[in-house]
Amino acid sequence: MGFKGILSFLLLFSYVANAELFVPLPAKPPVPKDNPMTSGKVELGKKLFFDSRLSLDGTVSCNSCHNVMSSGTDNRKFSAGVGGKNGDRNSPTVWNSAFLTVQFWDGREPSLEAQAKGPLTNPIEMAMKDHDLVVSRIRMIPGYVEEFKKNFPGQKEPVVIDNVAKAIASYERTLLTPDAPYDQFLKGKKNAINAAAKRGAEKVVAIGCATCHNGPNYAGPQLPEGTGFYQRFPTFADNEYAKKYDFSADPGRMKATGKAEDKGMWRVPTWRNVAITAPYFHNGAVATLDEAVLVMAKTQLNIDLKKEDVDDIVAFLTSLTGKMPKQQMPELPQTPGSTVLLQ
Amino acid sequence: MGFKGILSFLLLFSYVANAELFVPLPAKPPVPKDNPMTSGKVELGKKLFFDSRLSLDGTVSCNSCHNVMSSGTDNRKFSAGVGGKNGDRNSPTVWNSAFLTVQFWDGREPSLEAQAKGPLTNPIEMAMKDHDLVVSRIRMIPGYVEEFKKNFPGQKEPVVIDNVAKAIASYERTLLTPDAPYDQFLKGKKNAINAAAKRGAEKVVAIGCATCHNGPNYAGPQLPEGTGFYQRFPTFADNEYAKKYDFSADPGRMKATGKAEDKGMWRVPTWRNVAITAPYFHNGAVATLDEAVLVMAKTQLNIDLKKEDVDDIVAFLTSLTGKMPKQQMPELPQTPGSTVLLQ
């Protein structure tokens, strides 16, 4: 039974399969017990997320690379950190990252809280010497000190890096994009997507893409926080795509764990908003979604897709672009008469 | 009659003088006839203002250096442009810039519209090769093309650099900070400022600071758009401050006009929100407002201020920090399936 045969066979069950594999974005993400969400913490976290004073020279905020006015990314191959330095992995979208059970491309951090601490001291990102510098700078800003006191009550010294991370993570848990056309379709609004997107939804199941890309974020099953859902990429490396885009130059999860068996293993990334997060893959080497779909079919399933299949799958993936919640800009607390950015 | 004598003499008239020299921020700024404000243009301009795709590598937006979630500046000595390059003049605040009658430190542009075009192609700012590149990139973003059509009706090709500038300027004309404590005081709320600020308000008139720093923006009289209010800085250069901070290294307005008589001439900058826009002066060389006040008194009036005078004047200047209007974040239009930032 060739690809056509498998496709016909599986299409029979695709509606059932979709119902199992694909679900609308839940209204609320998982929230860790030790960091309950409060509106105060969310507001504080929003300020910190937008505050470039958390970087060494005051030029880079979380939002610089994870732009929540846009795709939750910067749409660059690699992000630019302090001093114009470039990173070496493409910035994943912050939208719906609350549904990822591990963070970073290699899943090296088990939570949004743990993730938030990383870029602050990464020399090619926000470049702070250490977390003490982050904390001491925040302590120089009276408005922040007040807000930390209020939002972490009963703590002798509330301005500590763990609370910085908790506030940022709380804000990030509000960054959800519900009601994508395909979510609406799943909820019964049958004309929310066009015929091509409907065919695409069936094809990604039939072909096998949805074996990994399923669950609320199309990034795998909703495992417990800290438990990653990893796959090898590329699985099939002996093809023009794997060579052209040099995917294996980066050892993936092995870089984090040091274990040989983790070479080429990656956290399965989300499909939500994938249409607006070009360029693609951990190395940002692929410029368009059409090409990314061709690459994935070949490298993961050893399938050569036809143009009509690519078009349908792209139509489906595009129907996963959600609605970004309206947000008020935060007003960042000031240091009257001086600046914390002495150069 | 020494300084004390002048002070006592003038204090008698200070309330009268204040009433003439100082006025609350008007509710609306001047608007040029050829760019009437519409809510659609303001919204489009807001998007463009926050869109870093208007810079060569997608890392710098207008808001990067004129942060409207903060002081309308970046609180750096010099701003960082594309590739981590540094400018050579301190970024002035965008708040209330609608009341400046010429733009840039040297007043080289006569309007917000003309100003908005400059940083886009400045190689150490947003670094676009030319305005054609700005326009062609915007034309690649379907959502922008639609919005330009809608907001510049009847034009065969609405996506042109002049309309980009008109939209951005329209947004900037909404960036007003009314109801500073001192504005409230002027409107009759006598306890809106403390005793030190009241003394400071009298002293800046008595000493002579308000000879230049008056009008709605404390940046000089509200002249017709395009007519600048310039002063020499430093007027008195034979003192430790002028030498230490090397103010004269930059020839000021002469750089723009090429005329010898413009050497050391500068547009009088605003006092509004000055407490939150450290560091100070065109070269960002002075770290604190206290020191800036000492510097100004010495370099412009040849007066050595006492600490108590500095404290009062700083209290007054701090009472000019206004209220930033709540703003919704814009949602930037996307390019599904691809990115305009090919590296």
The pLDDT confidence band at residue B5, using thresholds 50, 70 and 90, is very low
Of the listed ranges B17-31, B134-148, B218-232, B295-309, the least confidently predicted one is B17-31
- Inspect the interface and report whether the beta carbons of B59 and A74 lie closer than 8 Å: yes
- Dump the DSSP string for A42-81: HHHHHHHHH-GGGSTTS---HHHHS-TTTTSS--SSS-B-
Is A225 catalytic? The answer is no
Distance in angstroms (rounded) separating the CA atoms of residues B64 and B62: 5
Identify the active-site residue in A109, A113, A125, A291. A125
Structure tokens at A101: 């059970």
Partner-chain residue, chosen from A328, A336, A339, that has the shortest CB–CB distance to B318:
A336
Residue found under tokens 């409907």: A198
Are the C-beta atoms of residues B98 and B106 closer than 8 Å to each other?
no
Q: What is the mean pLDDT of residues A75-95?
A: 97
Element (H, E) at B337: none
Q: State the pLDDT confidence band at B12, using cuts at 50, 70 and 90.
A: very low
Give B-chain residues touching A329 at CB under 8 angstroms: 68-69, 326-329
Q: Which of A200, A233, A217 is nearest to A307 (CA)?
A: A200
Inter-residue contact A336 to B289 (CB < 8 Å) = yes
Q: Which residue of A has its CA nearest to B317?
A: A337
**What tokens appear for B57 in the block?**
């590598």
Give residues with Cβ within 8 angstroms of B58, minimum separation 6. Answer: A74, A75, A76, B52, B340, B341
**Given a cut of 80, is residue A335 above it in pLDDT?**
yes
Specify the pLDDT at position B205.
97
Burial B259-280 (b: 16+ CB within 10 A, else e): eeebebbbbbbbbbbbbbbbbb
Q: Which two tokens stand for residue B93?
A: 């605040």
And the tokens for A80? 């630019």
Q: Rounded to the nearest 5 degrees, what angle is found at the Cα of B254, between the Cα atoms of B251 and B258?
A: 135
How far is residue B13's CA from residue B7's CA, in Å, rounded to a whole number?
10
SS3 content of chain B, % helix, strand, coil (to 5): 45, 5, 50
At residue B221, the pLDDT reads: 92
Q: Strands of B180-271 (E only): list them.
A: 230-232, 265-267
Contact status of B246 with chain A (Cβ, < 8 Å): no
What ipTM was assigned to the predicted interfaces of this complex? 0.93
Mean pLDDT of A153-170: 98
Active-site position among B43, B109, B113, B125: B125
The answer on pLDDT for B319 being more than 50 is: yes
Q: Which residues of B touch A275 (CB under 8 A)?
A: 334, 336-337
B69/A331 Cβ within 8 A: yes
3-state DSSP assignment of residue B289 = helix
Q: Are B25 and B216 in contact (CB under 8 A)?
A: yes
Q: How far is residue A65's CA from residue A80's CA, in Å, rounded to a whole number?
A: 8
Spatial separation of the C-alpha atoms in residues B179 and B27, rounded to whole Å: 10
Residue carrying structure tokens 């007066």: B303
Sequence-separated (6 or more) residues with CB below 8 Å from residue A163: A148, A151, A152, A155
Q: Is A17 a residue whose pLDDT tops 70? A: no
Domains of chain A: residue spans and CATH: 3-28+178-318 (1.10.760.10), 39-172 (1.10.760.10)
* A6 Cβ under 8 Å from any chain B Cβ: no
CA-to-CA separations, B208 to B3, B236, B301, B315, B317, in angstroms, rounded: 11, 14, 7, 17, 15
Q: Is the dihedral of CA B64, B66, B67, B71 positive or negative?
A: positive
Reading the block at residue A253, the tokens are 């999860």
CA gap B119, B60 in Å, rounded = 10
For position B342, what pLDDT does the model report?
Answer: 80
Q: How sure is the predictor about A14, in pLDDT bands with cuts at 50, 70 and 90?
A: very low
Percent of chain B with pLDDT over 90: 93
**pLDDT bucket at A1, cuts 50 / 70 / 90:** very low
pTM over the 0.90 mark = yes
> In 3-state terms, what secondary structure has residue A9?
helix
* Tokens (6 digits) for B198: 């009241």
pLDDT of residue A13: 46
3-class secondary structure per residue, A173-225: CCCCCCCCHHHHHHCCCHHHCCHHHHHHHHHHHHHCHHHCCCCCCCCCCCCCC
The answer to whether B123 contacts chain A (CB < 8 Å) is no
For position B3, what pLDDT does the model report?
A: 53
**Helix crossing, B142-151 with B39-50: angle to 10°?**
150
